[in-house]
């Protein structure tokens, strides 16, 4: 087993900083109404090392802190990171690990059971691109991934297969809920917040009638502008 204390000092510092970010970002999930009780998780790749930090399994959000974020290898194995041996990583760890192994540009992964996005997942129905915000954030519809059971890397395989050729940073895993990815954990958390926002709006629109899709040319223009021009650079 890898021991954190035996790693190079710069790697140890990177692990500490990652655990602090991941612990802090977990607070965004209940704050934005994306999770209940102990459901959901955030992870982030440790810069400069084949490791990632993730939420411990079954621990309530008000009990999370940097020193109980669990550090794992990219195979999903917990390292000797100073946390109690009984503190196990999230039940979704294998899925996160698979994404990190197969999508090198992904630095953060988030899973929630947010109400509206999960409702679409239960229907195996993508969220159609009927909002300019969706063109900006997702570059089109939010796709549905295959049904998979927690416990091995099946969910991770579904995430990678669905998002590898998609501009969307979010996938609705069938009968399960949304998983989001990003360059780091903050970007993945933002995607989780945004996918729930658009899912709620589209669901309300569908109650009123038939939402009108945004034309593909407009989607491409919106996405290019938002990704390359919008904000501070």
151 confidence band (pLDDT: 50, 70, 90): confident
Instruction: Give the count of alpha carbons within 13 A of 33, CB side only.
Output: 9
Is 140 a member of any domain?
Answer: yes
Is 233 a member of any domain?
Answer: no
Single out the residue of 68, 35, 64, 15 nearest to residue 178, CA to CA: 35
For residues 26-50, average pLDDT = 98
Is 30 a member of any domain?
Answer: yes
Is 43 a member of any domain?
Answer: yes
Domain with residue 126: its CATH number is 3.40.225.10
Single out the residue of 134, 115, 90, 127 nearest to residue 177, CA to CA: 115
Within 8 A by CB and 6+ apart from 137, the residues are: 169, 191, 194, 198, 226
- The DSSP code for 222 is H
The verdict on whether 50 is a catalytic residue reads no
- The reported pLDDT for the residue numbered 86 is 87
Pairing, β 170-173 against β 144-145: parallel
Count of domains for the chain: 1
Q: Is the pLDDT of residue 214 over 90?
A: yes
- The reported pLDDT for the residue numbered 146 is 98
What DSSP string describes 88-138? PBPTTHHHHHHHHHH-TT--EEEE---HHHHHHHHTT--B---SHHHHHHH
Q: Could you say which of 50, 75, 80, 230 is catalytic?
A: 230
Is 12 a member of any domain?
Answer: yes
Residue 3, strand partner residues: 80
Q: Could you say which of 136, 184, 220, 226 is catalytic?
A: 136
Q: What is the percent of the chain with per-residue pLDDT over 70, rounded to a whole number?
A: 100
61 confidence band (pLDDT: 50, 70, 90): very high
What does pLDDT average to over the chain? 97
- The reported pLDDT for the residue numbered 215 is 98
For residues 173-181, average pLDDT = 98
Is 27 a member of any domain?
Answer: yes
Question: Residue 210, SS3?
Answer: coil
Q: Is the pLDDT of residue 231 over 90?
A: no
The verdict on whether 116 is a catalytic residue reads no
Domain range spanning residue 67?
4-228
- The reported pLDDT for the residue numbered 6 is 94
CA 222 to chain centre: 23
CA 64 to chain centre: 18
């Amino acid at each position: 087993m890898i021991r954190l204390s035996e790693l190079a000092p710069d790697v140890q510092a990177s692990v500490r900083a990652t655990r602090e970010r991941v612990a802090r970002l977990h607070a965004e999930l209940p704050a934005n109404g994306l999770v209940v009780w102990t459901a959901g998780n955030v992870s982030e790749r440790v810069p400069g090392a084949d490791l990632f930090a993730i939420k411990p399994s079954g621990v309530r959000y008000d009990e999370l802190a940097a020193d109980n974020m669990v550090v794992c290898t990219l195979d999903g194995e917990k390292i000797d990171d100073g946390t109690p041996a009984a503190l196990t990583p999230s039940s979704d760890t294998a899925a996160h690990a698979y994404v990190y192994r197969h999508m090198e540009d992904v630095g953060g992964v988030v899973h929630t059971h947010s109400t509206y996005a999960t409702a679409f997942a239960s229907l195996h129905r993508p969220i159609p691109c009927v909002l300019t915000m969706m063109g900006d954030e997702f570059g089109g519809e939010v796709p549905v991934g295959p049904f998979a059971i927690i416990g091995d890397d099946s969910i991770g395989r579904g995430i990678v297969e669905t998002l590898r050729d998609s501009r969307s940073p979010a996938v609705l895993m069938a009968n399960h809920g949304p998983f989001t990815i990003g360059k780091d954990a903050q970007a993945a958390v933002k995607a989780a917040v945004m996918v729930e926002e658009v899912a709620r709006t589209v669901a309300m629109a569908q109650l009123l009638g038939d939402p009108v899709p945004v034309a593909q040319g407009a989607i491409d223009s919106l996405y290019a502008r938002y990704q390359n021009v919008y904000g501070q650079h």
